[in-house]
Structure 1
Amino acid sequence: MTATTSPTRIGVNDVLRLVLELFAFVTLGIWGFVAFEFPLAIVVGIGAPAVAILLWALFRSPKAVFSIDVFGRSLVELLVVAAATLAWLDLGHPVVGLVYAAVAVISGVVAGRRELGR
């Protein structure tokens, strides 16, 4: 007899969180290439999103390399969101940064409450 597992349910907030995550990575790349002069633009434009992706993969992704508690995962997520928000502020687009931050925080709180309720 084979064990049955319940299928993973993907909700609207899960999709929104994926889009927010990808938006943060792209934002950090844009910021690196636009805010710095060549050759530093190449280093930061590739390095900033690479560091964010690495942090996310190690600690925050569903199949994270290191298993940490919900508060540690939230801290990593908050650092990536804050970096993307600050990047938009630095680029002179505060509305984009603040709207992104507000949506990301609300989505994170909803997901965090669901995670803590398990």
Structure 2
Amino acid sequence: MSTAPADPQQPKISPNDVLRFFLELFAFVSLGIWGFLAFPLPWPGILIGIGAPLLAILAWALFVSPKSVFRIDTFGKALVEIAVFSAAAIGWWTLGQPIVAVVFAVVAAVSGILNGRKELAR
């Protein structure tokens, strides 16, 4: 019985990679919730509720995603990631949800540190 060798092109997905994906989604949704709840509707609430997550998604796609448009170093990616995750945490804080803000910020920071160590080890 032989086993086929693993495909060298297939990226290994770690549990932290899955966590980071859900953190990204949570941050984008959080920014939308913040925009709709923190500002009066219809204007500027609708504009910020749609614009804030779109801006974060654009920054993520341009600089941080695995298939990003611009290739930047690990520290540049970390700065964009910190900006997006911090904005989401601050949004929860301003909405009067400090527990959600702190838990999200701590989980995102630990996940980011683990990811940064992995990237720098390459």
Residue ranges of structure 1 left out of the alignment (5+ in a row): none
- Which residue does the alignment assign to 1:26? 29
Of the candidates 88, 93, 102, which is equivalent to residue 89 of structure 1? 93
Counterpart-to-counterpart distance in 1, 2:91 and 2:100: 10
Counterpart-to-counterpart distance in 2, 1:29 and 1:87: 9
Matches within 5 A, 1:70-81: 70-81=74-85
Counterpart-to-counterpart distance in 1, 2:30 and 2:69: 24
Of the candidates 30, 35, 38, which is equivalent to residue 35 of structure 1? 38
- Two-structure CA RMSD over aligned residues (Å): 0.8
* Partner AA of 2:119 in structure 1: E
Counterpart-to-counterpart distance in 2, 1:68 and 1:77: 12
- Which residue does the alignment assign to 1:15? 18
Output the TM-score relative to the length of structure 2.
Answer: 0.92
Counterpart-to-counterpart distance in 2, 1:54 and 1:6: 27
Counterpart-to-counterpart distance in 2, 1:113 and 1:89: 28
Number of paired residues? 115
Counterpart-to-counterpart distance in 2, 1:108 and 1:67: 18
Taking only the aligned residue pairs, the percentage that are identical comes to 57
Compute the displacement of 1:85 (Å). 0.5
Output the TM-score relative to the length of structure 1.
Answer: 0.95
- Does the alignment pair 1:69 with 2:73? yes
Compute the displacement of 1:7 (Å). 1.7
Deviation above 6 Å: which 4+ runs of structure 1? none
Q: What secondary structure does 1:5 align onto? A: coil
Q: What secondary structure does 1:18 align onto? A: helix
Counterpart-to-counterpart distance in 1, 2:63 and 2:10: 23
Counterpart-to-counterpart distance in 1, 2:17 and 2:25: 13
Q: What secondary structure does 1:62 align onto? A: coil
Of the candidates 109, 113, 120, which is equivalent to residue 116 of structure 1? 120
